[in-house]
Structure 1
Amino acid sequence: MKTDETPKPWRRRPGPQREGSRPPSKKVPQDGDRIYKRRIEKRLKQGELAHLAGISPQHMSHIESGKYGASPEVLHKLATVLDCTVADLMPEAAA
């Protein structure tokens, strides 16, 4: 490299996808929209629901956006806080 050239910013090349990982654009089977609707009905902020359920606000955000699915334990905690059943929070195909 010549001294008068400015260095180019480093860019990460997309590597091969690890086996068993899913593409980031796919939503997981659990439906965060139902959790979102229940939360709005209860007039709770996302952070408040996360605190009451004992999970981080980031995790709550990922669940509602469909980036991650909620474990059965987390679904039970959310259902308890939202005064509904776990089946009410699941997508119609699974309910």
Structure 2
Amino acid sequence: MVAGKTSPQALAKTATTPKLPPLPKLRVRKPDRAEANPCIGVMSSVLGCWASQGQAAQGCAVLEQQLRACMDAKRPPVKEKSNINYHLSRFYPQIVGPHKRK
């Protein structure tokens, strides 16, 4: 062991946290991501059935009825737009702290 390399001061210098680059702004990308359409699975089943058995096949009738029921079902109400980016922009000055103006 090398003398002086295990002192608490030497260990503190090597165990410092890495500094992060300055952020121009805080932002969440695409906070209002659209949910997947629930009818996509049934539609892919209908298309697969048509591809394997033909478009007028009787075996696909049940899947076609399920797709019609799914498409005719009432859609859920639209969610309100997320306001997380507004709040992040408000709190950014407290996170960054004071800095020199150019």
Q: Which has the higher contact order (CA 8 A, sep 6+)?
A: 2
- TM-score under structure 1 length normalisation: 0.25
Q: Which has the higher helix share?
A: 2
TM-score (normalised: structure 2):
0.23
